Structure 1
């Protein structure tokens, strides 16, 4: 089951939203009060009107909002933004092929169960209608149930042939309610069978994780299913209780099954996934899985970086948010479902949020065929989701702030992202006291070097405090000031600086912690044909003549060749600039009695030196000779792959995306390459050398710092 479109009109904070052609993962972002959570409320209302996982489920929705329908009709009016217009909610649902196959195969049985609930409402609590001992009820109602079933069967099977199933709800201010008929959705929304039919599962923003003492372990799968059925859409605060008991029950059931059949696999996929979760979000900590003890207890230990162990109950609120939230979803294993998660970043700082959306999509969405809906305030999560395959990010405006009728607009990988981030809150970088401080060169995109390094090297992100320091000169000055303070014992952290090489040789003495990438720009590390080809394919911009790594490399080389005049001009300009600056010396004796005369003489001497070099080193013919030499050097580099290091990588990528990107801007194209490298766990060699040097450097505070 997947929602492919959603329309909500005049519902609480929503004036009108329309979402179309929805992919497997949907992210809704926006400022407080814009109505993001109302989207989930509308979906839950529509679902409960058509069918419930428990009797009278729709009443639970109104009860959550303290609306008493037994009183006057005016109780409904708070749901309307404009009380003179009707409230509307409509969705288009597409069922998975396996769901359609199951419904067709079990149609008679499912319709008969539904008929029993219609004919005998008290039968709604029976788990198996055919097993009831109420012979009198069977004798009295069996014929009517059969008639209901046979009458509904043709309409149901015909409805099942549709590709898209539409559900809609209209509530008028006078209380009149209208729904669109759909036999299939009435049945689907009433079935709680997560292995065959998808469910709609809601995780609200009020989540608490208490400690749990394991007592008796219930191995009855049906009782666990009944408990999860009750909390699927409502009473969600109880979703996260008894998780350790459920893990223990699953562990023991697996042991019993293996005892009965030794050929069954002994590996626990859930435990392995939780170990991956720890490696992704809690570097240094390791979940050891359920561990039986000699005295008959079952422990759930977590190993810390120093080798100590503690129970999962001792995790922080943020760690429990990631672990328990995922554990609840994964324990249900809801296949082909719609998962609604409100504020997944709850209790989390930006370090933990990074990678969360991709992890959920990979292990819950793609692995189980489910659709993921996230409502968030986190710009970290948004930056991760924008531009990713199978994700769409919507920015939601507060009602009345735009002339456009639709409150939501899709965020493309362009300047819209900046507008979203400005409207959001809470982008505070996490600080690690005592960790090494690394200053990166900023440039035009001041945070890019930090972001790229942290994305490709998550262990680096988790071990240092990385900041952007501006241009290369400013980075060097900032490094010098901070390192001097560290040497004086005023700063208890080791300081490093990392800049682009900008085509400069590393001749001359350098501070051991003043580092350079071994390429012209950090973007040179992105000139990798396999990942560029993958990005072009993802954005449907890969022409047939570029569908090979060699073709991509040739196209990049052609773009590099186009930058030769600019590269040569830049080198000539740098040469002339440094030569002239060396001629300017304005120093003089500070004890002089006539400073004006002395400084004037210094200026005259500098002018004479400049005239001398202009007439010698910087003569036109010599500059032309130097230009010819530079041209020969760069063309020689084009004949090998050396140009990937020595040419201006940023300019090459800009030209490449301008030719083949079909209108996509440079920045999102660059970010998509990084995302694909991250997914492949690719770490450029030159970057890895610098990162490893920083991470393995042994140091102590103050003047005793040593370098490795």
Structure 2
């Protein structure tokens, strides 16, 4: 499922907002008490009332919103106060959720057409039939009941056939405050969402809500299995989300006992949280202590000490619970409401939340997240990511998207939050890098040096150089008053960019950043731990990677040789087009083509090939000699690492492998690690 559009009218402090949602993560930012959580509660209310997963879901939500008394059955009509949902009871409340189903979800509706028809019929007959299965069975046993069920089946089939044309459906809830009536607009759309959710096992959800209010039980918790726990688990997803925060140990223990979670699964999931967000800690084990208490044991990597997960801070525990729950509870295509994930966390941790959500939740569970925040770090990451859309809520009628070109609006948002523009670029400035993995590797290896700097991937040397030239012309004091470090690969080509004032340029002395990862000892250890292939001895391994590096020489030689023999390029030159008529420019092009003709007309194939071969061989021989000492610097490190990973069939993805290498270099304090740290520290000093 995807929530594609949201409209809220007259709900609590919101008068009227309407937005389209077109990214994996939608981040709503605004001041405290402006209504960010109200937006999430509106989504929760409409879904729970119109498309409940179980019969009591709407009741749970209405009670939590203060609309329904827990003892409403004793008060009759006075037990429900719909006016608690609005500041203007004279106008109806309207909440509309436009949802796009997936092809797989449409197939579920086809497979569950009987259940779909039963739910649709029960909803028309009234709550007595929904709550009393025996009465509904008796109704279906008479002729009138069978006829109505057949009519529902026919209508359901027609509805599903319409989904072949468009998978877009809409849940629209209208609340009449004078009568207290809650009214839906499309019963088939409402029941379709319910049917899809009800096919899931208790541990999975299509809709999940994470409140900002997080309180955690300390010490022993009662762990129970079976139907009672399953009921609590289903409710914890959306209708009573606060239960999530009491279920950390329960979920882990139940997952182990039920066989859903192995030791390896737990280590993997905890590592995803600790490595990305809380470095220095790791999962150890689940155990029963000497006094019979269930303990989830965490290890401090530096001291080696182990302690119960209760020993984490409230912010750390909130992160662990939230992300473990996200990893384990989301069905494919889930919609997640996440309220202020930065609560109780320092900026250094908050900085990686969006990246981790994208890499570990959106990518693996195909989930859509709607996140509220007043964190400058989350705002900055969302603004820069193509997979996120930033929205600013600035009043009861003002919820607006922020596009990449709206940099001035970002400054206004920060001012609203009480944050300076400098905080968006972090405390001290920004670092711009070329490679797709450079930012992660620098963060993992040198987090203590660059923790106050925002790292941005530029996507290549040309983009870095273009950014430098653009910033040289920028006079905005909020930008130019801070250190901006641009890191450029060696690429066997010296850059002409210079450090000027607060704009610093650092060019690696090696071909690229990955060349610094070519450390025989570290590579051997890390690859040996992450492959099923035979690595051999250390000497054999060192010889092997040297051979792989030298395998690049022939390609380099032919490229350099051809550069000396290559004819003039016949392409257009924009600079030559200026102030010329079509005829004049056509003559320029003809003259170039004529020159190229003269350059190539007297060429002899065998002579040309022999000359090029001879020149390339000379270059190759020189490189072979030069590389005896310099191959670790001069070879293309990205290609070399890829060749190494392929040769030894590493069993993790490329980025993970590189991160393991840089962390090992840091732990061992290798020469290359100290070199990089010294270079960066000097530029940021």
Specify if TM > 0.5: yes
Of the candidates 400, 405, 408, which is equivalent to residue 400 of structure 2? Answer: 408
Aligned residue for 1:327, secondary structure, equals helix
Structure 1 residues 445, 141: closer, same or farther in 2, change over 3 A?
closer
Aligned residue for 2:198, secondary structure, equals coil
Task: Determine whether 1:192 maps to 2:198.
Answer: yes
Distance 2:205 2:446 in 1: 38
Aligned residue for 1:271, secondary structure, equals helix
Distance 1:444 1:63 in 2: 42
Task: Determine whether 1:345 maps to 2:342.
Answer: yes
Structure 1 residues 367, 223: closer, same or farther in 2, change over 3 A?
farther
Q: How does 1:83-162 map to 2 (within 5 A)?
A: 83-112=89-118, 115=121, 121=127, 124=130, 138-139=137-138, 141-143=140-142, 145-160=145-160, 161=163, 162=166
Number of equivalenced pairs = 480
Structure 1 residues 690, 349: closer, same or farther in 2, change over 3 A?
farther
Deviation for aligned residue 1:155: 2.0
Deviation for aligned residue 1:366: 2.4
Deviation for aligned residue 1:169: 2.1
Q: Contact (CA 8 Å) 1:31, 1:377: kept in 2 or not?
A: yes
Q: Contact (CA 8 Å) 1:92, 1:165: kept in 2 or not?
A: yes
Aligned residue for 1:199, secondary structure, equals strand
1:59 corresponds in structure 2 to 59
Structure 1 residues 429, 462: closer, same or farther in 2, change over 3 A?
farther
2:213 corresponds in structure 1 to 206
Q: Deviations over 1:319-347 (max 9, x none)?
A: 10110112233332333221111111111
Distance 2:97 2:210 in 1: 20
Q: Deviations over 1:445-474 (max 9, x none)?
A: 961149999865224664358668xxxxxx
Task: Determine whether 1:169 maps to 2:176.
Answer: no
Of the candidates 387, 391, 400, which is equivalent to residue 394 of structure 1? Answer: 391
Structure 1 residues 286, 165: closer, same or farther in 2, change over 3 A?
same
Q: How does 1:274-353 map to 2 (within 5 A)?
A: 274-290=270-286, 299-304=295-300, 305-353=302-350
Q: Contact (CA 8 Å) 1:17, 1:406: kept in 2 or not?
A: yes
1:8 corresponds in structure 2 to 8
Of the structure 1 ranges 49-58 and 194-203, higher mean CA displacement relative to structure 2 is found in: 194-203
2:496 corresponds in structure 1 to none
Distance 2:249 2:322 in 1: 13
1:22 corresponds in structure 2 to 22
Distance 2:369 2:389 in 1: 11
1:251 corresponds in structure 2 to 256
Task: Determine whether 1:227 maps to 2:232.
Answer: yes
Deviation for aligned residue 1:62: 3.1
Structure 1 residues 680, 166: closer, same or farther in 2, change over 3 A?
farther
Structure 1 residues 678, 12: closer, same or farther in 2, change over 3 A?
farther
Q: Which runs of 5+ in 1 are unaligned?
A: 258-264, 400-404, 431-441, 469-496, 504-515, 532-549, 563-675, 698-708
Structure 1 residues 125, 500: closer, same or farther in 2, change over 3 A?
closer
Q: Which runs of 5+ in 2 are unaligned?
A: 454-481, 489-498, 515-558, 564-568, 575-653, 680-685
Structure 1 residues 288, 89: closer, same or farther in 2, change over 3 A?
same
Of the structure 1 ranges 103-112 and 316-325, higher mean CA displacement relative to structure 2 is found in: 103-112
TM-score under structure 1 normalisation? 0.58
Q: Deviations over 1:130-170 (max 9, x none)?
A: xxxx6x87455434554343211222232231420012123
Of the candidates 436, 443, 449, which is equivalent to residue 458 of structure 1? Answer: 443
Deviation for aligned residue 1:12: 1.9
Structure 1 residues 289, 443: closer, same or farther in 2, change over 3 A?
closer
**Radius of gyration: which is bigger?**
1
Deviation for aligned residue 1:427: 8.3
Structure 1 residues 429, 207: closer, same or farther in 2, change over 3 A?
farther
Q: How does 1:496-645 map to 2 (within 5 A)?
A: 521-522=504-505
Q: Deviations over 1:622-660 (max 9, x none)?
A: xxxxxxxxxxxxxxxxxxxxxxxxxxxxxxxxxxxxxxx
2:242 corresponds in structure 1 to 237
Distance 2:35 2:426 in 1: 35
Deviation for aligned residue 1:378: 0.7
Q: Contact (CA 8 Å) 2:432, 2:487: kept in 1 or not?
A: no
Q: Deviations over 1:92-149 (max 9, x none)?
A: 11112221111101211343366467658567568xx6xxxx6x87455434554343
Q: Contact (CA 8 Å) 1:15, 1:407: kept in 2 or not?
A: no
Q: Deviations over 1:37-95 (max 9, x none)?
A: 11111112211221323324333333223235855799434533445433221111111
Distance 2:420 2:319 in 1: 19
Distance 1:499 1:61 in 2: 49
TM-score under structure 2 normalisation? 0.59
| RMSD value, Cα | 4.9
Q: Contact (CA 8 Å) 2:120, 2:152: kept in 1 or not?
A: no
Distance 1:696 1:294 in 2: 49
Q: Contact (CA 8 Å) 1:47, 1:189: kept in 2 or not?
A: no
Structure 1 residues 680, 99: closer, same or farther in 2, change over 3 A?
farther
Deviation for aligned residue 1:247: 1.2
Q: Contact (CA 8 Å) 2:429, 2:483: kept in 1 or not?
A: no
Q: Contact (CA 8 Å) 1:288, 1:301: kept in 2 or not?
A: yes
Q: Deviations over 1:254-294 (max 9, x none)?
A: 2xx9xxxxxxx967435312212111112121112435789
1:418 corresponds in structure 2 to 411
